[in-house]
Amino acid sequence: MRERRPPRKPRTSHIGPIIRRRPNLRIEDIDYKNIELLRKFVTEEGKILSRKHTNLPALFQRRLANAIKRARNMLLMK
């Protein structure tokens, strides 16, 4: 018979604790010129936080990702 493997450790995130609250955010607020808002959804390394961490609906997350990419392209963000 095979030996059983030891149980796995629970997965931890390198980004930090998962935010479970839904932010007060309107779709009109997501804009590439709103740098203060966009910085809340980007890590220190510049990576966009996932939906699991931001707890945003899919439409908001797509618009947010596009706004961050547009701001990076215009050198408003690093």
CATH of the domain at 52: 4.10.640.10
> Is residue 58 a part of any domain in this protein?
yes
φ, ψ dihedrals at 39, nearest 5°: -65, -25
Q: Residue 7 half-sphere exposure, CB side, CA atoms within 13 Å? A: 3
Query: In the chain, how many domains are there?
Result: 1
Two structure tokens written together for 22 = 């839904």
Mean pLDDT, the chain, rounded, equals 85
Domain encompassing residue 67: 27-73
φ, ψ dihedrals at 63, nearest 5°: -65, -40
pLDDT tier at 8 (50, 70, 90 boundaries)? confident
**Model pLDDT, residue 20:** 57
Give the C-alpha separation, 70 to 9, whole Å.
Answer: 38
**Model pLDDT, residue 4:** 85
> Per the confidence metrics, is the pTM higher than 0.85?
no
In the predicted structure, residue 73 carries a pLDDT above the cut 90: yes
Looking at per-residue pLDDT, the higher value among 71 and 77 belongs to 71
